[in-house]
Structure 1
């Protein structure tokens, strides 16, 4: 009985850890990318982030290659709220605005990519950008804070996307992009299975302001099973 008891506790704690990470990712997605952000479709057309729809195929960066990814859902959106953004400009004249804890890809000293909060970006930090269909490294030359109206938080299969041709994560308010991407696997599996079954919008078509219903659902699950999981630091 004791082994069964410990196995049940292990499974419970593992599932709760998944719920917690997904909850943190979704429920703190508020803000993210400013409404004037452009994303790039696989046909190279750039569209406003607010025009993204489930199933849209986008461009992102994987290692040293430009690859495609797919829009799964809009985690959060608000067309009218005024939000404080960090706006960064690179030497290549790329520019993007994100909320303070949203992760952006930076090339570290050993050449690897680290996704860190934009508030921690400093002058001279190197970002990955796209120019004329090629990946380049470009240093940050200006950082400023400004208030803009509207924000959007899309989630893609890869957990990344190009915003104004700059490499960025879909996640915010988390310490490790890769760990969160791993724990989001169940959502990706469900999405992929649904698409194979010709379900066009597995998570519904979110067209109104506010956090996606999945965030609310996960909140209710955590609240009933383990309320203390909702006390984030």
Structure 2
């Protein structure tokens, strides 16, 4: 959507609220009476982790876990101010250095740790969570340790009962830590994604060097503006159309982020975040899935210069870091990037659901455009230049759009975990 005019902002907020409330009502109706209606489901049984097990079952610095390291933080580093102290009275901090360093961590780490503290007290009344190591400034860990960035903690229970540590690790997984490792008989290691990571920022984006086809020629993603019309696919008819860029779900030319770069058999490439939705085809059946689920041998849908589509095979997947994140939203909810068909949405593993909840954005944009056309017709005899009035640069403000962020945050509470990236 465009940079919304002041007189439209309040209307958008009300439409967003109505859409969310309707979604909740429909969700409740979808779970209506059936076999077993009225029964209360018992609590889910939690399975303790075993020694040396980690969840997820990938290395800590992969995209699906806590992500790449971003560099050590010391007290003279500008990033030091991003660390926040944790004074939760339900947590014991060992603080053997006597500097309070163990209390310092990123906001995301603090939130997950506080959640874990509550789970520990519920699991074992009278027992509290104990942190033996948080942010480290003395070099006691490996060079790429996330302790140096305030993104990792080592925890035990206050009674130091090692028989509890397997369950403590499971509780850490349930609390939302991005990587949990039953690392030692003496503690559990937990870490989180960077505050600038795709999951932490509620965004899924493209890197700026990707190319889109606008109605007036090709343009880099970093140069694309609100109001321009870009090549996309109308899903109901499967036709190529030029669809208006309504807004940017995320727009930040200065932010560094992890991306996946896909090299295709045709020589084409596309670079996007792991939780962006991408159209793939398997046995002539098209699916829209997270980019991170695709690997070598999978096929994506590509359009040639004649506008005909064909399947192109992924031959290489590379993890890269780029500066600049861009996530345009079109009227159709799709976009052709580097000739590859891609969804405009991310995080929630349902293109149709995401497209539905952004219906208020499309409605307001359509209404505004219609009113603008009527106004132009009325004043055209007097001010011919007004038709060309929308010629100035139309870039959004930096960061995740408030509407998108609100939806993603609410989704974390109400959308089933199996369709939500977390």
TM bracket, shorter-chain basis: 0.7 to 0.9
Provide closer, same or farther for how the CA distance between residues 169 and 192 of structure 1 changes in structure 2, counting only shifts above 3 A.
same
Q: Are the structure 2 counterparts of residues 207 and 215 from structure 1 closer, same or farther at C-alpha, using a change threshold of 3 Å?
A: same
Q: Per the alignment, do residues 77 and 95 of structure 1 end up closer, same or farther by CA in structure 2, a change over 3 Å counting?
A: same
In the alignment, what sits opposite 2:228? 56
* Equivalence for 1:212: 401
Deviations 1:47-83 (A, max 9, x none): 0112222221111134553222111001111112211
Give the aligned partner of residue 197 of structure 1: 371
Query: In 2 relative to 1, CA 178–147 (structure 1 residues): closer, same or farther, beyond 3 Å?
Result: same
Unaligned 5+ runs, structure 2: 1-18, 27-199, 374-388
Task: Classify the secondary structure of the residue corresponding to 2:254.
Answer: strand
CA contact (8 A) 1:60 1:167 kept: yes
* CA shift digits 1:135-180 (9 cap, x unpaired): 2211111111111111101100111101111110111111111121
TM-score, reference length from structure 1: 0.76
Q: Runs of 5+ in structure 1 lacking a partner?
A: 1-10, 19-26
Given the alignment, which residue of 7, 14, 34 partners 2:22? 14
1:87 corresponds to: 261
Distance of 1:152 and 1:12 partners within structure 2: 25
State how many pairs are aligned.
206
Partner of 1:146: 320
Q: RMSD between aligned alpha carbons?
A: 3.1
**CA-to-aligned-CA distance 1:180-211 (integer Å, 9 cap, x gap):** 1122212111110111111899xxx5433212
The 1:176–1:228 alpha-carbon spacing in structure 2 relative to 1, beyond 3 Å, is closer
Which of 340, 343, 349 is residue 175 of structure 1 equivalent to? 349
Contact 2:279 2:301 in 1 (8 A): yes
Question: How far is 1:133 from its partner?
Answer: 2.6
| Higher Cα radius of gyration | 2
Higher strand share: 1
Within 5 Å, give how 1:112-127 maps onto structure 2. Answer: 112-127=285-300
Structure 2: distance between partners of 1:17 and 1:35: 39
Q: Find the counterpart in structure 2 of residue 41 from structure 1.
A: 214
| Separation in structure 2 between the aligned mates of residue 151 and residue 48 of structure 1, nearest angstrom | 12
